[in-house]
Amino acid sequence: MEEKGIIQRLTGKGVYPFQMAWLLLLPFRNLYLSPTKLASRLNLKVDSTVLELGCGPGYFSPFIAKSIPKGKLYLADIQPQMLEKARKRLEKKKITNVEFKLCDGNSLPFADMMFDVAYLVTVLGEVANTDLYVRELFRVLKSGGILSVSEQAGDPDSIPLQELETLLLPAGFVSDTIFGKNRTYTANFRKP
């Protein structure tokens, strides 16, 4: 991707450019949603099996993995470069209860009813096949499992809460807990 394309993607719609991944690791993100705050919203147990879809360079991953010491965190992304950055970051922190999976943008490479929790932070709006991914998320979650979606105002791919509900409720999810409102929120949905 040439530099002009990278800048356009950084400020426009579509997949976040891996060349700018370093921006996703800046501590100013804590002003919107810190890893601690996210973990508190996910109802994690020490042995939870968790999917982070669209992990990028792994900003939230270390804290989430440490929050489930007897569980496992699966990091998934469509960009191999992002997965490699996340892998290096977690290896440097000596975090081992993680696995990395490259996604193809159409399906999730996981078994049915595998996860207790799946979360996406400012990712769902970047997904080209949103309806397909929503069905896949429903498939890979256990009964009673939580799908947590966090969005931030100002992100060009941000999905308003009402639009998110129109995507998830028809797929079978039920609304559980909402933190925030409008365009800056974390919304948890449960698979019955």
Would you kindly state where each structural domain of the chain is located, as residue ranges?
Answer: 3-190
How many CB atoms neighbour CB 155 within 10 A? Answer: 18
The pLDDT score that the predictor gives to residue 1 is 42
Given a cut of 80, is residue 182 above it in pLDDT? Answer: no
pLDDT per residue as tens digits for the range 85-111? 999 999 999 999 999 999 998 899 999
Q: Selecting from 3.30.565.10, 3.30.2350.10, 3.40.50.150, 3.40.50.450, what CATH number does the domain 3-190 have?
A: 3.40.50.150
Rounded mean pLDDT, 109-132: 95
Given a cut of 80, is residue 14 above it in pLDDT? Answer: no
What's the CA gap between 29 and 116, in Å, rounded? Answer: 26
Classify residue 17 by its DSSP letter: P
- 63 contacts 29 by C-beta, under 8 angstroms: no
Given a cut of 70, is residue 2 above it in pLDDT? Answer: no
| Reported pTM | 0.91
Taking alpha carbons only, the member of 94, 46, 41, 90 closest to residue 71 is 46
pLDDT per residue as tens digits for the range 15-54? 777 877 777 788 878 888 999 999 999 999 999 999 999 9
